[in-house]
Structure 1
Amino acid sequence: MAGDREEDEEDLVCLDASFFINDNYQLTKFTFGSQVLELYCLQSASTDFDLTGQLVWPGAMLLNEYLSKNVDLLRGCSVIELGSGVGITGILCSRFCCEVVLTDHNDEVLKILQKNIELHSSSKSYRNCTGLVAEKLEWGNIDQIEHILESHSAGFDLILGADICFQQASVPLLFKTVKLLLQMKGKGRCKFILAYVSRAKMMDSMVVNEATQHGMKIAEVPGTRSVVGNLEGTIYEVNL
């Protein structure tokens, strides 16, 4: 028996967490209306499901197209983005906003997010990008939310989210976080713009129901429903 255990132990392979991390980022160009962005991202998903933020998702394309056509929404605003990933939406916003806080919960994703912030903050081509900062934020984490509330005590004019509803367990935490951020500015003075991509009917109804259950009004922005990446997407506005 002891010999069998020794053989079993010899067969065990201990893999470092870095084995699952793909950091082969490529500088990629994106165009939204008259705005051209370059940033580092993956071209395909990582092995680890939790690292989905390393590439640009269809919902981010949808949101950026919408924002590029409605830049007056952004001018002079303070913005926080939830689930920023590589930062493609926040970086676009920084060309028009006075402050942009990009957030993600994953440490590896935060590394590439910070790299893209540094790229746009230091390059002469992107001098108009101002007020870009990255913060760690896990939805529902009161300590992290309070840190952001204290660091940005004036609140935000806009909360943004792109393609961030694909895990059922995370949706209640998302809207809990959104509500706290909306309350910070006061009723009617801040709104949550969500670029939603439909992948399951259950999630479609869950997003609307969770917003309602958290005391918020959610409405589809007319004319924004379109096909992105072979999936149907739309823009929602959420208010207290």
Structure 2
Amino acid sequence: MITYKQYCSLIICLAADYDLTGQLVWPGATLMNNYLSKNLDMLQGCSIIELGSGIGVTGILCSRFSSEVVLTDHNEEVLKASSKVPISFQQCSIRPLFNTVDQLLRIRGKNNCKFILAYVSRAKMMDTIVTTEAIQHGMKVEEIPGTRSVVGNGEGVIFEITLR
């Protein structure tokens, strides 16, 4: 049986705010994988939970350099890999995401676990929505310098989020 305590050194989430299927590589995965490839040392010895893994390309990368990886997705169709059902990362998805992350971070402790969120958004207000939700959960949000970039037809960014 897998417990949250075992898998909480690093929580990774890739997201987008427009319709994509869980059977494609998301633009957020491109952003995250480029970042992780340049910072492989952060994966060494970590246990990782990837929230919203889709086809799992980031989890596969992480598995090469970390001690343990768990891939998750909320979409049953993605988990079954049987059909292409559109999924979105919209404001309604942010609160449940942060509720989950809050529980995982609190179980492991504020010094032993961090949440890394990568997303590509066409809406300028997405940063504000994410930051506001994190603050409401008692979290500290830091944009990782040098990660803000254009990916496809949206702007991508990576945040590191920890408990205060």
Specify if TM > 0.5.
yes
| Aligned residue in 2 for 1:75 | 44
Residue 223 of structure 1 pairs with residue 146 of structure 2: yes
| Secondary structure of the structure 2 residue equivalent to 1:187 | coil
For 1:201, give the aligned amino acid.
K
Could you tell me which runs of 5 or more consecutive residues in structure 1 were left unpaired when the two chains were aligned.
1-48, 114-163
Q: Which contiguous aligned blocks of 4+ residues in structure 1 show a shift greater than 4 angstroms?
A: none
Cα deviation, 1:82-140, whole Å, max 9, x if unaligned, reads 00000010010000111100001222211339xxxxxxxxxxxxxxxxxxxxxxxxxxx
Q: Answer whether contact 1:165 1:171 (CA < 8 A) is retained.
A: no
Q: Which residue of structure 2 lines up, in the alignment, with residue 59 of structure 1?
A: 28
Share of identical aligned residues, percent? 71
Listed one character per residue, the Cα deviations across residues 155-177 of structure 1 (whole Å, up to 9, x for unaligned) are xxxxxxxxx97211110111111
Distance 1:218 1:108 in 2: 32
Distance 1:226 1:201 in 2: 13
Q: Distance in 2 between matches of 1:213 and 1:94?
A: 32
Q: Is the 8 A contact 1:193 1:238 kept in 2?
A: yes
- Select 1:98's aligned residue among 67, 72, 90: 67
CA distance in 2, matches of 1:98, 1:58: 26
Distance in 2 (CA, whole Å) between partners of 1:96 and 1:72 is 8
Hey, which of these two has a bigger chunk of helix by percent?
1
Kindly provide the amino acid, as one letter, of the partner of residue 69 in structure 2.
Answer: V
Aligned to 2:103: 180
**Change in 2 beyond 3 A, CA 1:51/1:108:** farther
Q: What is the one-letter code of the residue matched to 2:73?
A: D
The TM-score, its normalising length taken from structure 2, stands at: 0.80
1:112 is aligned, of 66, 74, 81, to 81
The TM-score, its normalising length taken from structure 1, stands at 0.56
Greater RCO structure (CA 8 Å; 6+ sep): 2
Which residue of structure 2 aligns with residue 200 of structure 1?
123
Residue aligned with 2:81, SS: helix
Retained in 2: the 8 A contact 1:182–1:191? yes
How large is the RMSD of aligned CA atoms in angstroms? 2.0
| Residue aligning to 1:169 | 92
Question: Which letter maps to 2:40?
Answer: V
8 Å contact from structure 1 (residues 165, 203) kept in 2 = no
Q: Which amino acid aligns with 1:81?
A: E
1:207–1:81 Cα change, 3 Å? same
Task: Give the counterpart letter for 1:60 in structure 2.
Answer: A
Gaps in structure 2 of 5+ consecutive residues: 1-17
C-alpha deviations, 1:49-95, integer Å up to 9, x for none? 98721111111000000001100010111000000000010010000
Task: State how many pairs are aligned.
Answer: 142
Q: Deviations 1:167-215 (Å, cap 9, x if unpaired)?
A: 1111011111101011111012100011121221332211110000000
